Structure 1
């Protein structure tokens, strides 16, 4: 079977290319000729495919399908920060093994299995290709939970920015805070942010 670039999906892995009948040496020839781009080790994108909005998130999602975009990376997705995260931040459920991804730089958090699925949503990282990400409500609560690690100024700024949005739902933020056992600090910060 003679596989061409057009036979491959827009984003694919070495494994899926092999399953389609493409030999690894041919895969790397296509990369060297610029017909495909390597997003991360073992993750490729056709050069003729539409440019992804979130290429790093797409690459990490292919490397670790169970991972969910979280923290500062999720803030960026939801337009709740002007900071550019130095690494793609994702969560995996405990006790799952933490994936090791060098490129793009990735920081992995391990979240409790019982609450891992709370606030799970998706974004379109590239046309027709989705990536799992925590919704805005969960994200601001996670920043408050991790404020001693990621920084209180970042957490409070994200919460203030969230409160100013038209689609802000402080009640849902409190529901997530209750479920994630951080209700007191979030309620206090929410009161301050709402008054400001």
Structure 2
């Protein structure tokens, strides 16, 4: 807990230390009023890097920081599909928008920066296979390798089949997941019938 005598501006700069990014709501919850935030922005002590998201201007930019910014923009979102494939180094494609999965009735933010492409998953596909990665002080929810591959094969209108196959090949070559893990996720994720022949062909030693 911060000392009661700590000035709001000092507390603001401390909380945004070490490359962290925070929402305005998180800063307000820490006892920092909007006027203090506005004055710090005007003075160049912090910068607004997205809608209601703040960071120090000299903060080190971490690899994958755009995913942290997207996670702050969409609190219920999970990095998914091609963006998750890119995060896991399974594809050379880096989409211009961050793909994030949300529920059928979840709130969708007003588009600003970073650009986000939302996909709505039913509950059956939304809440399993999530892992959290610390990026720029933010715990970013991202689908696992196996779950992402299942989603890629299940959604050919969103992920080109050639991209899904190459990502599956990369996951096996780089040992990002075992064939059994991938098969289990495909069965849970409604993609096994589609993925099975490709997985069997790629794991055959014949």
TM-score, normalized by length of structure 2? 0.84
Task: Tell me the CA shift for residue 89 of structure 1.
Answer: 0.5
Partner residue, 2:186: 177
Unpaired segments of 5 or more residues in structure 1? none
Partner residue, 1:115: 125
Query: How many residues get paired?
Result: 195
Partner residue, 1:3: 8
2:131–2:144 CA contact under 8 A, matched in 1: yes
1:39–1:56 CA contact under 8 A, matched in 2: no
Specify which of 169, 176, 179 is matched with residue 160 of structure 1.
169
Does residue 1:24 correspond to 2:34, yes or no?
yes
Structure 1: 4+ residue segments shifted above 4 A? none
Offset from partner CA, 1:125-170 (integer Å, 9 cap, x none): 12x4320000111111111111232211211111111121134311
Offset from partner CA, 1:89-141 (integer Å, 9 cap, x none): 11012232333332100001111113322111011212x43200001111111
Specify which of 49, 72, 77 is matched with residue 62 of structure 1.
72
Q: Return the alpha-carbon distance in structure 2 between the equivalents of residues 161 and 24 of structure 1.
A: 47
Q: Return the alpha-carbon distance in structure 2 between the equivalents of residues 174 and 186 of structure 1.
A: 8
Task: Tell me the CA shift for residue 48 of structure 1.
Answer: 4.8
Offset from partner CA, 1:27-81 (integer Å, 9 cap, x none): 2332243322322100111235443322221112112221110111111111101
Partner residue, 1:102: 112
Partner residue, 1:14: 24
Q: Return the alpha-carbon distance in structure 1 between the equivalents of residues 40 and 65 of structure 2.
A: 19
| RMSD of Structure 2 on Structure 1 (CA) | 2.1
1:99–1:108 CA contact under 8 A, matched in 2: no
Q: Which moved more, 1:174-183 or 1:11-20?
A: 11-20
Does residue 1:190 correspond to 2:202, yes or no?
no
Unpaired segments of 5 or more residues in structure 2? none
Partner residue, 1:79: 89
